[in-house]
Amino acid sequence: MSVYKIIEIVGTSTKSWEDAAQVALTTSSKTLEDLRVAEVVKQDVTVENGKITSFRIRLNISFKYRDDV
């Protein structure tokens, strides 16, 4: 049997939502082990002077819970 923990993270990028998601997952994988699923919860952009300045993506990510720590 397995148990998974789900947390919410936000990634940002000046390129795209896909890049924002990759940034979020790459960064979180440095301290979280055994990432399983990432679910897009929300996408938005920041705007300055009528132009998009950054893409933001909110993800729910799950990882396997370890009780041996």
Instruction: Identify the CATH number of the domain in which residue 34 sits.
Output: 3.30.1660.10
Structure confidence by residue, pLDDT tens digits, 3-44: 889 999 999 999 999 999 999 999 999 999 889 899 999 999
Is 41 a domain residue? yes
Q: Are the CB atoms for 10 and 28 separated by under 8 Å? A: no
**Domain containing residue 18:** 4-64
* Total number of domains in the chain: 1
pLDDT at 33: 86
Q: What is the pTM of this model?
A: 0.84
Is 69 a domain residue? no
**Rounded CA gap, 39 and 59, in Å?**
5
